Chains A and B, each alone.
Chain A
Amino acid sequence: MADTTAISANPPMSRSRLASLLVGLAILVTALQYLGFLPAALHRLPEALVPDFARYLDAFFNFVKDDLGLFALTRWLTGLLQTVLDTTANLLFGKRRWPNLGPIPWTAIAASMAVLGYYLGGWKMAALVAVTFCWTALVGQWKIAMQTMSVLVVAAPTAFIIGLSLGVAAWKSPAFNRALKPVLSVLQTLPFFTYLLPAVIFFKVGPTAGAVATTIYAIPPMILMTTLGLQKVSPEVVEAGHMSGCTKLQLLRHVYLPSARTEILVGVNQVIMLCLAMVVLTAFIGMPGLGAKLLAMMGSFKLGRSFEIGVTIVLLAVTLDRMSKAWVVKQPEHFERGTPWWKRHIALLLGLGAFVVFCIVAQFIEVASEIGRKQSLSVGKELDTGIKWFLNIEWVKATTGFLRAFVNVQILIPFRNFMLSIPTPAFILLITAFALWLGGRRQAITALIFFSLVALSGWWDRSVITLYSVISAVSIAMLLGLPIAILAARTEKWSQRLLLVCDTAQTFPSFVYLIPAIMLFGITDIAVIFSILIFAMVPLIRYTIEGLRTVPPEVIEAAEMSGATRMQKLVNVELPLALPTMAVGFNQAIMFAFFMVIIAAFIGTQDLGQELQRTLAGTDLGKNFVLGICVSLMALTFDLTILKWSSDRKKMLGLEE
């Protein structure tokens, strides 16, 4: 400990001095620009110097696609995938394919899932499952929900298997792990539009492309959690496995994997959540079901109906989330020797029983097998009226009018123009200084390289506008979210309530926010920022609560004993200790904002998202990829810097092992 302080006592000084030097240089360059002395070539990279990355990439993709025969391979895989998807589609919603048995009556699925819920988490879980499935059926969305599920039941297990295998491989071979890490980071920050286009080209528009895009999107956390879990397995357990004469494979199967069960199941939970997050986005490439319906409803201005679909997706997500979390907590059951077979498998038998009973019942009672649109209890029209009524209340209109006239015209637009006026080199210097000050030399060099690449891509102005939306939204999210979180963190009850709100806001399909955002603020920057804001506040609130609630009680007690007031305690003790965790939340907020800013292209923006949306309509794989990488590079710069700061800080405070 002593020597680390000795070493770090010096560099931070020079680090912050170097950072201020860079900032000074940036200000100087900007000032020159304002005075008109800066040559144009230093303000923005001249067009002629921009390498045509898109064309190189196109040539490369074409080579891989046609000459190396990747296209033939993926199309062959598509055939296989199609067969599997057709089978699930037949069972769940009765597509006319082998095995021609479906559709399974909704009551049978609902009942057996409720039994599963009971097995995993008792009556409460069973009730949640039952409510979710009954709601879906009763509002008349059963068939479209099953269209979605028919793809997810294929995509999620595929993601699980691939993620698990890659995770094991990464744990076995450090070299592979090192190679995989950067790929995963890029995958996690790449905008989803960049997944969609290759998915369509290689895997054919329709459920197959949807399944592939969903799978790829869901794999990274599974890999990370698997590796993490395996690395944590205690050597004693492994020793025991060795002593009982396990082969390598047996060791993995019976020792490592069961010991890493918790982490692996957390990975499963993540896979499920990410799959559900893609439900709406994949609708752009032919994924049928809830997402496609949602887009169609939005396209014909049916707010109420799209809201209902949003509720269904949230319910499904929350249910599956809770079920998989219950599975994480549930310990394997052990029965006494001689327990009869039926007793050991009572839940399985009950589930099967319920399934068969309802299948038979459905043969005689039509409502039990299918609920059509006409019998449904949809309240779409009433919701429409409700939403329009809310938007028409005087004070709501007055508030939005003020925000639009003041915040948008006086603050946001000038801020955007200012950011655009900064010369490219000065901008890069500022980002580098930020990374140096928070992270360190390595982070600074990465930032320098990453942002220089963005400048080289030729999409600088659009990248800056993207960054502007992200920064504005995250700043406002902090102004609003932190006080709320700090207040709520004072009691356990309110913390729980707020976290539930966060869960809902996160799983609610973000597309549904867009329309009310436009109706409130018109097609302006403020509507874009508003829709990002909702999304970015979630991790900020969650991690702030988490950080504040996990401050060691001894420390708080010590503060109380020394007579600190509530305010002093908060400012001097709790907040500093919670700050590293809050920084993780801040980082996530930035990542979420980068995700959402691309979706906000559907409101109307002039950033990278708009260009990405445009490539989706064509076959510009190269351009699509360049744009995606620009977003990814910017997001990664923040990610690396802030996480480094957070872990440094935690070490300094002695919060980590």
Chain B
Amino acid sequence: MKRSTTALAAGILAALPLAAFAEDSSDPIVIPIHNWSSQIVMSNVVGQILEGVGNNVEYVTTDSQAVYESVRLGDVTMELEVWEGAFGASFRAAMEKGGIVDVGDHNAVTREDWWYPMWTKDACPGLPSWEALNDCAAVFATAETGDKGRYLDGPVDWLKHGKERVEALDMDFVVINAGSAAALWAEIGAAEADKKPVVVFNWTPNFAEAVWPGEFVEFPQWVDGCDKDPSVGPNPDALYDCGNPAKGYLKKAAWEGMEAKWPAAYSVLEKISFTNPQIAEMAKFVDVDEMEPEEAAEEWLAANKDVWESWTK
């Protein structure tokens, strides 16, 4: 494994016009790793690209919300997946305090909303429309919710406003918050055996798409201001009466001091941009093919030279 990394590094070095760079610091660039596969592989991919151009790279496991404070303090150098929906708030808060910079968007778009695995459609054929979902609310009932349906929202700290939407659109659903992403998967996994219909919070790009094919529920389309101005959206008196934006950004962020300390690495980071299929492929290597993240990154780099080689020039 080590040999192939070295070979890869040598290959990249040989391919590069070496003189093009200003001198980067030899201190390690610290890349944070969170607990979902696409982010781990992407971090390894970028890490190996940076190692290829001569930087020292280290990985550190962190919480995906707390990481913005660490980037701000310079303990962590960059963050490769800033999701608009999930981390936008933490990112903006850190931006206000200062110390963190926006290094541009990936080509990929993100979406986070109510979601159901494909088998649910058998019990509720009208899907993906939200009105159809509401009509068959009883199908989603559990022992605790009586005859109302149950919608499993993400952890409270993800601030998904599921309860507000149910009220705004007058839906026959009870919103229960899961405690972690793992809890969401456990529920889907448990429902899979007898194809029990479930509707849960989910997002894309995500490994779950490969394991359980499914669709997002189509709510009234997102209009700017839906979360601030009651008059926007179908219900004139309520906030959150729209679906989430179907095309959220996926950003890169970095520590303020990075550009001065590692100018070359910074310019590579600026050019980096992944697409949805590329991210899905990275996740698949780990989630479906059971590779280790480092191996998955090597594999991806070997197979997609045309994608990333231009970033290092």
Contact A614:B156 (CB < 8 A) given known A205-B62, A205-B66: yes
Q: In the complex, which of the residues A201, A206, A392 has the most CB atoms of chain B within 10 Å of its own CB atom?
A: A206
Q: Which of B54-75 contact A (CB under 8 A)?
A: 56, 58-63, 65-67, 69-70, 73, 75
Binds B, one of A225-233, A290-298, A333-341, A342-350: A290-298
Contact with A along B282-294 (1 / 0, CB 8 A): 0000110011100
Contact A295:B179 (CB < 8 A) given known A373-B292, A617-B157, A618-B65: no
Query: Are A409's CB and B144's CB within 8 A?
Result: yes
Contact with A along B96-140 (1 / 0, CB 8 A): 000000000000000000000000000000000000000000000
Distance A286 CA – B60 CA, assembled complex (angstroms): 6
> Which of B56, B60, B182 has a CB less than 8 Å from the CB of A299?
B182
Q: List 23 A-B contacts (CB under 8 A).
A: A205-B66, A285-B62, A287-B61, A288-B59, A292-B33, A299-B37, A300-B286, A370-B1, A391-B190, A392-B193, A409-B144, A519-B190, A522-B142, A523-B152, A523-B183, A523-B187, A524-B144, A602-B182, A602-B183, A604-B176, A604-B177, A613-B157, A616-B66
Q: A205-B62, A299-B180, A618-B65 are in contact. List 19 more A-B contacts (CB 8 A).
A: A200-B66, A200-B69, A205-B75, A206-B30, A296-B35, A299-B36, A299-B185, A380-B290, A392-B193, A404-B143, A409-B143, A413-B144, A514-B182, A523-B152, A601-B179, A602-B183, A603-B178, A610-B179, A617-B63
Q: Chain B contacts of A295 at CB under 8 A?
A: 35
Q: Chain A contacts of B227 at CB under 8 A?
A: none
Range of interface residues on chain A?
35 or more
Q: Which of A608-651 contact B (CB under 8 A)?
A: 610, 613-614, 616-619
Q: Does B260 contact A (CB under 8 A)?
A: no
Q: Chain B contacts of A601 at CB under 8 A?
A: 179
Q: Does B169 contact A (CB under 8 A)?
A: no
Distance A206 CA – B73 CA, assembled complex (angstroms): 13
Query: Are B60's CB and A205's CB within 8 A?
Result: yes
Q: Does B91 contact A (CB under 8 A)?
A: no
Query: Are A205's CB and B182's CB within 8 A?
Result: no
Q: Does A96 contact B (CB under 8 A)?
A: yes
Contact A300:B207 (CB < 8 A) given known A204-B75, A603-B179: yes
Closest 10 CB pairs of A and B: A617-B65, A518-B186, A301-B185, A604-B179, A299-B35, A292-B61, A519-B190, A614-B157, A602-B180, A602-B179
Q: Does A284 contact B (CB under 8 A)?
A: yes
Q: Chain A contacts of B63 at CB under 8 A?
A: 284-285, 616-617
Nearest chain A residue, comparing its CB with the CB of B212: A301
Nearest chain B residue, comparing its CB with the CB of A600: B179
Q: Does B45 contact A (CB under 8 A)?
A: no
Contact A205:B76 (CB < 8 A) given known A299-B181, A616-B63: yes
Q: Does B295 contact A (CB under 8 A)?
A: yes
Q: Which of B184-213 contact A (CB under 8 A)?
A: 185-187, 189-190, 193-194, 207-208, 211
Distance A300 CA – B274 CA, assembled complex (angstroms): 21
> Which of B62, B190, B292 has a CB less than 8 Å from the CB of A286?
B62
Q: Chain B contacts of A519 at CB under 8 A?
A: 186-187, 189-190
Query: Are B62's CB and A301's CB within 8 A?
Result: no
Q: Does B40 contact A (CB under 8 A)?
A: yes
Chain B interface helix/strand/loop/mixed: mixed
Residues of chain B touching chain A, judged by Cβ–Cβ distance below 8 Å, are 1, 30, 32-33, 35-37, 40, 56, 58-63, 65-67, 69-70, 73, 75-76, 90, 142-144, 152, 155-157, 176-183, 185-187, 189-190, 193-194, 207-208, 211, 286-287, 290-292, 295
Q: Does A405 contact B (CB under 8 A)?
A: yes
Distance A302 CA – B292 CA, assembled complex (angstroms): 13
CB distance from B19 to the nearest CB of A (A): 26
Contact with B along A473-495 (1 / 0, CB 8 A): 00000000000000000000000
Query: Are B69's CB and A301's CB within 8 A?
Result: no
Nearest chain A residue, comparing its CB with the CB of B154: A604
Q: Does A17 contact B (CB under 8 A)?
A: no
Query: Are A518's CB and B290's CB within 8 A?
Result: no
Distance A286 CA – B185 CA, assembled complex (angstroms): 23
Q: Chain A contacts of B66 at CB under 8 A?
A: 200, 205, 285, 616-618
Distance A605 CA – B156 CA, assembled complex (angstroms): 10
Q: Does A283 contact B (CB under 8 A)?
A: yes
Q: Does A408 contact B (CB under 8 A)?
A: yes
Query: Are B1's CB and A372's CB within 8 A?
Result: yes
Q: Does A242 contact B (CB under 8 A)?
A: no
Query: Are A300's CB and B287's CB within 8 A?
Result: yes
Query: Are B90's CB and A518's CB within 8 A?
Result: no
Query: Are A301's CB and B40's CB within 8 A?
Result: no
CB distance from A28 to the nearest CB of B (A): 33
Q: Chain B contacts of A456 at CB under 8 A?
A: none
Distance A617 CA – B94 CA, assembled complex (angstroms): 12
